[in-house]
Amino acid sequence: MSLDEFIHRRQNYERSLEPINRCGTCSNDLSAEDIFIVAKAYDKGRCILETAQCLSCQMQLRHFVSEQSMENLQLYKGRRFEAFTTDPFARRAYFLEDPTCIITGEEIEKNGTFEIYTLNGGSFGDPDENYFFVGGTAIEQMTGLLSEETRRHWEGFLSDLQPSSPEVIVPTLFG
């Protein structure tokens, strides 16, 4: 499967290809009018985690992150991520590049480790420009920035989502 296919299927369940339509935390239905995030993690081209989060659950999940971890993650995300979330011109420029990590600029390879996030609703504009990648280097580095307390909370949360997941994927946008 090519990266274009990953991108095209980003809002669908991997197995059924049906649209993701429920929050992974509260199980409430999600509609086109709702603001929510779809997060998928891939390892060697295989989807190992996929979930959606409604805005309410995203805000509640912030309580799982210690103040120190939150500060570390905010500093790490940097200019590229900040520009993507606040500047429509920077967001458009991101999609002119080959698929790259929104944080480090590292090239995303379909057989590598990466996460893809889709932003639904809100003021993100063009639906074809409402996603971004986080590469393996950024995942590793951000994991290292988390406090032990935060790590324990996230591991519990992720095991509830998918207990068979082979590794802990840091939900970067939720942090």
Task: Dump pLDDT digits (tens) for 37-82.
Answer: 888 888 888 888 888 888 888 887 777 777 887 777 777 877 888 8
The pLDDT score that the predictor gives to residue 108 is: 93
pLDDT of residue 165 exceeding 50, the answer is no
Looking at every residue in the chain, the average pLDDT score rounds to: 78
How distant is the alpha carbon of residue 65 from its chain centre? 16
Of the two residues 88 and 168, the one the predictor is more confident about is 88
Whether the CB-CB separation of 25 and 62 falls below 8 Å is answered with: no
pLDDT-based confidence at 100, cuts 50/70/90?
very high
Which residues lie below 8 Å from residue 32, measured CB to CB, with a gap of 6+? 120, 121
- CB atoms < 10 A from the CB of 83, how many? 16
Q: What is the mean pLDDT of residues 118-142?
A: 77
pLDDT in tens, 28-42: 898 877 888 888 888
Q: What is the mean pLDDT of residues 21-26?
A: 84
The pLDDT score that the predictor gives to residue 164 is: 41
The pLDDT score that the predictor gives to residue 121 is: 58
Of the two residues 161 and 139, the one the predictor is more confident about is 139
pLDDT-based confidence at 166, cuts 50/70/90?
very low
CA dist., res. 103 & res. 138, Å (int): 7
Whether the CB-CB separation of 39 and 171 falls below 8 Å is answered with: yes
